[in-house]
A and B are shown apart, each in its own frame.
Chain A
Amino acid sequence: MIDAIKLRILQRDSVIQDVSGASLPKLFRGLPVLEDKPCLDDCRKCAEVCPTGAIKLDPLEIDLGLCLFCPLCEEVCPEKIIHYTNNINLAVDKKEKLIITKETKSIAPEKASEKIRKYFGRSLKLRQISAGGCNGCELELNALSNVNFDMGRFGIEFVASPRHADGIVITGPITKNIANAVQICYDAVPNPKIIILFGACAISGGIFKDSEETNRKFLEQNKIDLFIPGSPPHPLTLINGLLDWLDKKG
């Protein structure tokens, strides 16, 4: 008993109280911003090094759905135009909002419909489906339940059965082998239900977008409610995204 109390004291209060103002390591790569200055003539370096083809030129744009938040483009840009900030607010409700231009200073989801906020605003239960995820995104989703992030305090939790869930969170590019199970799991969730795509692989296929082993039909057939970019996204990106979307920040 004494040992248990000692251990509890060691735990202190580890929870991140201010989820929108949490400080992150200096090198952490969050929202990229593009400085408003011209690229060098004929310079294509960033687009050439990008492993997923997330960068378009003339005008310069980054698609966060494809972006793996690797340091390559920032590293090669001779004019230092591309710069990763520490901003972890990356969640959006529409795919178009994932395109970062020189005008973009921040991105955020539109508030969910009144119906969704009424149904899920106080309690949101999610069923996660790993559909070819490498376990990177899964680890970050698991971290949401630990003492530091403690997503449960906002009424948002992962549940075991799709029957108990209000929506699904997909990680991974959706392989051919899991595609059928994804559909069955989604069908088992009662209406109304939401779909969240967590990570670049789920949003765009990521580094696996050209693989012959994926089957992404499910995503074409269903409306996606929330996109969480990253590879893997930071746990706070999902928390903040959901709180903004459900309008729970007050």
Chain B
Amino acid sequence: MNSLKVQNGEVFDRNEIEFLNRSDFQDSVLNLLSNKYRMIGLFPIDKKYPNKIVSILSDSVSSSLYIIGCEFPVNKLEFESFANQFPQTNYFECELAENFGYKPVNHPWLRPVRKQNIILGNQPYQFFNIDGDEVHEVAVGPIHAGVIEPGHFRFQCHGELAYHLEINLGYQHRGVEALMLNASPNQRIILSESIAGDTVAGHTYAHCSTVESLTNTQVNLRAQVIRTIAEELERIAMHVSGLGGIANDIGFALPASAYGRLRTLVINSLALLCGSRFGRGLFVYGGVRFDFNDENLEQIKNNLEIVKKDISVINDFLFSSTGALIRFENTGVVSKDFAEKIGLVGTAARSSGIELDTRIHFPYGAYRYFPVSPITLSTGDVFARARLRALEVDESLRFIFDQLENLPEGKIASDVNELKINSGVISVVEGWRGEIVHSAFTDDEGKIIQYKIKDPSFNNWYGLSLALRKTAISDFPLCNKSFDLSYAGHDL
């Protein structure tokens, strides 16, 4: 095989990547995709040379990442689209086309990812629509009814049923990846905290890992444990908040308000540790900035004891309500087959029966020594996506209590060296939504020349579209909340 095999967070020499010609590249990528590998990246490793791209594929069975390079003739940035056979690559190809002018030939649905008024094919993009008697179109957004991020949704409906939902994003595009290249180290950390403000620990963890790998910095176990505790606190907070949102969307006020109260306890616990309710300021290169002390340790434990006790009562109340279950079950179903084809990740994938959890399949940090248990449900409906989050909260609480009882001794931050020259690294982290991928490449002066971010939402927005097929349009808010995706993380 002509690919470079690396592990999660393993530094490699950029020269180790073999840049194949187009037909060998196509064959190698197709070969790996046929073996059920998932695409997690498709981009040039140096923006100055957009004709040299890499495709990164992930194999969760062997916990390995495969990098396949390709050098295109400068005036012919064309390749045969993989998306007809493997729909999971569709959006990566759109992104490559949008950012660097590539033409994926025979692409089934070439559409803009973040930019407005961009022409990708031969003519300006038109929304997909269906024709027929009594068919109607519903347009929603970019500004939505609630306090929520912007996005445009187009429903093609017949009566109450939605037959097609097209999601058009990009309103949150702030240029994070471009800013990363010229930012100072302090700015880079703040930028990663702002990729998705609900996934501060997840994205900052991934970013710090890339830099620590590129600088060959060892992070002490105590710092690693504190990082994972922050990540799990974030998971609990957002899962609890999501469950509250789901209860709210079916008009079930009591559990909605009860989940809201518990979320406050969890994020205030993060503030006890680091001063910010979202974990901002906690991560530094080489470790963490804040440590537990007897006082905040006790307070955090007390908070979490209340959460542990109360959440089981609230979960029982919500999930034993017939009225709630009628709304949840068989609503917005994504089958395992579809989920695999479109490459779902994270909670959405696990709710559809796919065993995929970066903490287990590509273990990093403290998860290498203190594993979490895999949780998978099979029905792929709103019920599964809600129930899975309730179960993950229990597991995260178990994990945190275990760690708080046995905090390892040691320093919380190590010194950081210079960035290695001509190197690359791919760092994968399981944020609360799912797989976060950060890839970084340096030049011969040790300057970062490419920084690529993939939020789990990048994969999963297509899942929401599919879930709406033949679903009542009135169930859209419920389906949307059950996926709970990030606009900012997608738009960057």
Tell me which of A11, A69, A137, A177 contacts B258 (CB under 8 A).
A11
Alpha-carbon distance A140/B267, docked complex (angstroms):
11
Interchain CB contact under 8 A, A181 and B142: yes
Residues of A within 8 A of B255 (CB): 7
Q: Which residues of A contact B268 (CB under 8 A)?
A: 25
- With contacts A4-B317, A136-B198, A147-B260 taken as known, whether A212 is within 8 angstroms of B178 at the C-beta atoms is yes
Our pick among A29, A129, A232 for the contact of B197 (Cβ within 8 Å) is A232
Identify A143's interface contact among B179, B254, B264, B280, CB under 8 A: B264
Q: Which of B317-331 contact A (CB under 8 A)?
A: 317, 320
| In the complex, chain A residues whose CB is within 8 Å of the CB of B258 | 7, 10-11
In Å, the complex CA distance between A51 and B190 comes to 8
Q: Are A11 and B147 in contact (CB under 8 A)?
A: no
Please determine whether B149 and A138 come into contact, CB atoms closer than 8 angstroms: yes
Complex Cα gap A144–B258 (Å): 15
**By the criterion CB–CB under 8 Å, are A27 and B264 in contact?**
no
Looking across the interface, which residue of chain B has its beta carbon closest to that of A24? B271
A106 close to chain B: CB less than 8 A? no
Known contacts A146-B264, A181-B171, A185-B143, A133 near B289 by CB under 8 Å: no
B194, CB-defined interface residue at 8 Å:
yes
With contact pairs A4-B317, A7-B258, A70-B281 given, residues A148 and B264 touching in the complex (Cβ less than 8 Å): yes
Q: Is the CB of A138 within 8 A of B197?
A: yes
Q: Which of B83-91, B308-316, B446-454 contacts A (4 or more CB under 8 A)?
A: B308-316
Pairwise interchain contact A178-B186, C-beta atoms closer than 8 A = no
Interface size on A, residues (CB 8 A): 65
Neighbouring B residues of A6 by C-beta, 8 Å = 313
CA distance A243 to B271 in the complex (A): 25
Whether B174 pairs with A132 at a CB distance below 8 angstroms is yes
Pairwise interchain contact A212-B175, C-beta atoms closer than 8 A:
yes
Q: How far is the CA of A206 from the CA of B187 in the complex (A)?
A: 11
Instruction: Give Cα A134 to B457, complex, Å.
Output: 13
Does B150 belong to the interface (CB within 8 Å)? yes
A128 proximal to B (CB < 8 A): yes
Taking the complex as formed, is A57 at the interface, i.e. its CB lies under 8 A from any CB of chain B? no
Would A27 and B272 count as touching, CB distance under 8 A?
Answer: yes
A130 within 8 Å of B by Cβ?
yes
Which of B142, B290, B296, B487 has the most C-beta atoms of chain A within 10 angstroms of its own C-beta?
Answer: B142
CB nearest to B314 among chain A residues = A7
List which B148-195 residues lie within 8 A (CB) of chain A: 148-150, 170-175, 178-179, 184, 186-187, 190-191, 194-195
- The reply to whether the CB of A33 lies closer than 8 angstroms to some CB of chain B is no
Chain A contacts for B195, CB-based, 8 A: 134
A146/B257 in contact, CB under 8 A = yes
Name the residue on A nearest B318 (C-beta). A7
Asked if B398 is an interface residue, CB under 8 A from chain A, the answer is: no
Judge whether B261 and A147 touch: CB under 8 Å: yes
Whether the Cβ atoms of A175 and B313 lie closer than 8 Å is: no
**Nearest neighbor of B195 in chain A, beta-carbon distance:** A134
A142 touches B175 (CB 8 A): no
Interface residues of A in 139-162 (CB under 8 A from B): 139-143, 146-148, 158, 160-161
CA distance A7 to B321 in the complex (A): 13
Smallest CB gap from A6: residue in B: B313
Tell me the residues in window 174-200 of chain A with beta carbons closer than 8 Å to chain B beta carbons: 175-178, 181, 185
Bound CA span A49–B197, Å: 22
- What per-residue 1/0 map shows which CB atoms of A205-218 lie under 8 Å from chain B? 01110111110000
CB of B106 closer than 8 Å to a CB of A: no
Are A137 and B275 in contact, with the CB atoms below 8 A? no
Where the two chains meet, the residues of A that have a C-beta atom closer than 8 Å to any C-beta of B are 3-4, 6-8, 10-11, 14, 24-29, 49, 51, 68-72, 75, 84, 128-143, 146-148, 158, 160-161, 172-173, 175-178, 181, 185, 201, 206-208, 210-214, 231-232, 234
Q: List 9 tightest A-B contacts by C-beta distance, closest first.
A: A136-B197, A27-B275, A134-B197, A160-B145, A146-B260, A213-B175, A135-B197, A211-B175, A178-B171
B interface residue numbers (CB < 8 A to A):
114, 116, 142-143, 145-150, 170-175, 178-179, 184, 186-187, 190-191, 194-198, 200, 241, 254-255, 257-258, 260-261, 263-264, 268, 271-278, 280-281, 289-290, 296, 310, 313-314, 316-317, 320, 486-488
- Can you spell out 16 A-B residue pairs with CB atoms less than 8 angstroms apart? A7-B254, A8-B254, A24-B271, A25-B271, A51-B184, A70-B281, A71-B289, A130-B143, A134-B195, A135-B487, A136-B198, A138-B147, A146-B260, A172-B172, A178-B171, A178-B172
